[in-house]
Amino acid sequence: MNKVELIRKIVIYSVYILFLTCFQVSFPDKLSLNGQIADLMFVFVVLVAYMFGIKDGIIIGLIVGILRDCFAAPAVIGLNGSVVSSVGIGAFLLFSVAVFSASVFTIKIKRKPAFALLTLISVTALYKIFGHGIIFIWTRVFSKTLYHLSAKELFIDSIFTQIFLNILAAIPIYLLLRFAGPYKKGQNPMLSAQEGRGADSSWLTI
């Protein structure tokens, strides 16, 4: 990668990160349904990691995660009963999301839009299920408070609604990364070269 390509990559990533972060923080109600909000930062990290590889994904995941902690760190009830800000969770979460997204449906499968969508659905579902599990354990074991959701609230209002909103958000973000992204032709040339050497073992394409 030459100097011009590197500058292009940094500028485009910076613009998208700042825009998506500011939009999500400033206008959350514009992308909400059933109490859930389309997670633009989350979707962006998933797509970057899936489309452009684990290196880009981890770097972008950590940067976006730090911004997430600065602007929207979740509040939790501490062991002493006081409400505290859980700084650091955002960075860890999006780092983990990037690693997972860059690792599934990529080894022997071409990086196609359908599998990017499938990756997003899988990661979003795991994120919501894991999150509800952590909250349940924390409230019942440590905070000694009740945490009760009906099946409808858990699956329909929370998990399925979040997946639906993230899919809607993913469509324009994917198109931006594909046609006006950090790499020409929407492909990381280093990643394409690495996977090209193993092209004969790719068993599924769309």
Specify the pLDDT at position 203: 37
Contact 49, 81 (CB under 8 A): no
Contact 27, 169 (CB under 8 A): no
Query: Given pLDDT bands bounded at 50, 70 and 90, which one contains residue 5?
Result: very high
Contact 86, 74 (CB under 8 A): yes
Give the number of other Cβ atoms within 10 Å of residue 104's Cβ. 16
190 alpha-carbon distance from chain centroid: 22
DSSP alpha helix (H) spans, the chain: 3-26, 40-52, 54-72, 89-101, 113-137, 151, 161-180, 189-196
Segment 4-20 mean pLDDT: 96
Q: Are strands 83-85 and 32-33 parallel, antiparallel or unpaired?
A: unpaired
Specify the pLDDT at position 199: 46
Segment 13-39 mean pLDDT: 92
Sign of CA dihedral 173, 20, 14, 126: negative
Q: What's the rounded Cα separation, in Å, for the pair 152 and 120?
A: 22
State the amino acid at position 138 in one-letter form: W
Q: What's the rounded Cα separation, in Å, for the pair 54 and 197?
A: 18
Residue 68 tokens read as: 């997430």
State the amino acid at position 192 in one-letter form: S
What share of the chain in percent tops pLDDT 90? 56
Kindly report, residue by residue over 72-121, the tens digit of the pLDDT: 777 666 666 666 667 788 899 999 999 999 988 766 566 788 899 999 99
Q: What's the rounded Cα separation, in Å, for the pair 25 and 73?
A: 11
What is this structure's pTM? 0.88
The set of residues, in sequence order, having a beta carbon less than 8 Å from that of 42 and lying 6+ positions away, is 94, 97, 124, 127, 166
Question: How far from 90 is each of 15, 64, 95, 170, CA to CA, in Å?
Answer: 20, 8, 8, 20
Domain ranges (residues) in the chain: 3-28+37-188
The set of residues, in sequence order, having a beta carbon less than 8 Å from that of 138 and lying 6+ positions away, is 76, 77
